[in-house]
Amino acid sequence: MTKRTLFLGDSHSHGYAEIDGEVRFWQEYNYGEIYSKLNNTPVAIYSIPGGCNKKYPTWLKAMLNYYENNISEIFIQATYWNRYLIACSRNLDVGDGIKPDHFTRGPKQPVAKDDPELVDRWTDELVSEEHAELIEQCRPENFEQFKGFEYSERRGMTHDWGPFQEKYQYTKLWHESATHLQYREWCADYLLMDFICAKLNIPMYVWSINDRVFIPQHKDFYGEFTTTRFAPISAEQFILKEHNINIETDTYRYDGEHYTTEIHEIIAKDYIDFVKNA
């Protein structure tokens, strides 16, 4: 059996765009599916619009379980740090014992217009019978400038301490997402995936689609990566350098964020090989 290439990502891996007021999924502007066609190789794509880095270790484990480790290589499209997970339980429990595929839907998608033989499409349900897991982000509409805070070691943090009174999105942004807490969490999540892949001797490649996605320069907070290669430049920089195309213009975007088929073709044909051999 031919092993599959696994892609993990957000809307850019999902064939997603909003065109003429219509939201579209699993369309031809999807570098993972183009990669499959170009190389006549089976792929699995696990993605969700608005996806966040915190999802990736769970998705990785779910896919390795499903394919019984029949994965040859893994490409992870690192994504924006302002995204995070919120969850709840109908029974107000912690979900002790749920499995990595608890929210998984696939390998086929009912919203897709076609069903390529070599492509398995995976995504997450937001709600199961007993649990919900949603992706949220610090939205521009709710943005507030950092206000600072007063702290006295003698007085400590009483119930009326300033940050306790702020809106959740403000606190999430300025006291977690834009701090060393998020940096440590990112390093831990990606090192966990490296550990899982190293045990199975599967190479893992991490890249970013544009320069608005942050990948730390210092990634070894908890230890050294052994099976992971990090792309030295983003797809945006590569395409500008090798094809003289600035993808951050509306000429190459459908809706101000999601790139045209031409850009996805370059990623599938040229950039992925560059990442593998960098």
Q: Which two tokens stand for residue 227?
A: 């099976």
Distance (Å, whole) CA 78 – CA 208: 5
Tell which residue, 53, 38, 60, 48, has the closest CA to residue 11: 48
Mean predicted confidence (pLDDT) in 155-184? 86
Tell which residue, 3, 25, 12, has the closest CA to residue 74: 3
**Residues 44-88 pLDDT 10s:** 999 999 999 999 999 999 999 999 979 999 999 999 999 999 999
At residue 264, does pLDDT exceed 80? yes
Q: Furthest-apart CA pair in the chain: how many Å?
A: 66
DSSP 3-state of 36 = helix
At residue 257, does pLDDT exceed 90? yes
pLDDT given for residue 163 in this prediction:
78
Pairwise pLDDT comparison (94 vs 151), residue with the higher score: 94
Half-sphere exposure of 130 (CA within 13 A, CB side): 9
DSSP 3-state of 206 = strand
CATH top class, domain 4-137+180-277: alpha beta
Query: In Å, how far are 14, 46, 178, 209, 251 from 80, measured between CA atoms?
Result: 16, 17, 11, 10, 23
**Residues 30-48 pLDDT 10s:** 999 999 999 999 999 999 9
Helices 180-200 and 56-66 cross at an angle (nearest 10°) of 10
Tell which residue, 274, 188, 175, 197, has the closest CA to residue 230: 274
At residue 1, does pLDDT exceed 80? no
Q: Which two tokens stand for residue 25?
A: 């999924």
Express as a percent the part of the chain with pLDDT over 90. 85
Distance (Å, whole) CA 99 – CA 173: 30
pLDDT given for residue 218 in this prediction:
97
Task: Render the burial of 250-277: b for 16+ CB within 10 Å, e for the rest.
Answer: eebebeeebbbbebbbbbbeebbebbee
Burial of 101 (0-12, 13-18, 19+ CB in 10 A): middle
Domain boundaries, the chain: 4-137+180-277, 139-177
- What average pLDDT does the structure give for the chain? 94
- The residues that bridge with 58 in the sheet, in sequence order, are none
